[in-house]
Structure 1
Amino acid sequence: MIFITPPGVVSVALKQAAEDAFPWTAIEEVAHVDQAIRIFPSTVSLILVHPDFIADAERSASDLFRYHPMAMTAVMHDDLQAERDVAIRLVTSPFVRSVFPIQVRHDISLSILGLLLQGIEYFPRALLGAAIEKPVEVVPSLPEPDEAQPVPAHLRVLTKREMQVLEMVQRGLQNKSIANDLNLSGHTVKIHLHNIISKLGARNRTEAAALYRNVAPVNAAY
């Protein structure tokens, strides 16, 4: 497992407890996202990222997943009563697949760590509750596409699959629904969203959806 954190953030006690509980697991600690974009002696099963580095991890997600395709990715979070915008930021991040709470007893931390090492996603209930405490406004669906019309130049940087995902995002569908409709994993949908946001120069999925609505003709085909 790899910890991407500022020096000294991960306690010696936690690392020792993890090594004792999972003796087959090697622990690496790096101080920047770029230092994790390389081949390690053992296969990386888990990448734990400090909240300060989430933006960097999202920008480098494609590289991280290329080097560590089997890795679960989790943010080290210390505030399970986070504000709604923070909770939504974590839940909708194209990189974050789980949350690893660090302000809990070591026995609880180790139980969660065991789940993450098995590839099982974990989000604290309180954090998910904060993310959904208010209804999300759903954008009305656009008419069915007409394949006779061309894709606008602004959106031609996207692949056909990325256009499908973006069209569903602008309709207000969440990642799970998109994954089910397109027969994809939730993780794959997050990667598509990361690529869409990067290619369009958007700051988040909401801005990317706005670009689609403002630019795509009503009957464009994708």
Structure 2
Amino acid sequence: MESLHLNLGVAILKNLLPNLSQVVMLTASANVLIQRLIERKLDLIITNDVSTEPSHVFRRLLFHEPSVLILPKSFEKDPNQNWTWQRLAVCGLPLIRYWNESGAGEINEMFMKTHGLRFPDKISVDTNSLLVTLVSQGIGWGFSRPTTVLENIHMHPHFIVREMQKPSFSREVYLIGREQEFVVESEIITDIAKQFVQENIIPESLKFAPWVKEGFTVG
């Protein structure tokens, strides 16, 4: 997952490297990762999308992560910082969506359809960094997860993070692998991931979004 490769990905690599002859780590959308798992090009994947989960695989829940609004810095000037969905629909800027074939795009689109949320939109992207860059330049607004903010924290002076008003939602992040393969490694990675989320991702997220504490659950 793009939002985790620079922090959790590095932590996993550091822990596994002494015991493995070779490690290949790559970032791709959920549908690509799952397909490569099926094709045996990858042994284990971390993803939020299990809607296309193939047969003969196992999955381990790593954590639940809440969603947050990512808004242009100019929105900070508004005296009313309660950004409801109704206000965002008429804020004058389009929603920057995730491409609907990406993992984030699928869960975001499902959420909006379920709750009948409609917004002006002209732009779809498939990376967190592009979404945050466009928001930082005042081109639109978006919603994503705290790990997206952490991945792009160097741009934080140019955007703001606000609480998602009801209806809100969270995503589940899983470790997925083929049944009866790499069982020991999957257990090690699961333990590393849970500890890293508890000791790093959650505390760092609370620095810019203290309200998300109750939205995170590990395991």
What TM-score do you get using the length of structure 2 for normalisation? 0.30
Q: Which has the larger radius of gyration?
A: 1
Report which of the two has the higher share of strand: 2
Whose RCO is larger (CA < 8 A, sep 6+)? 2
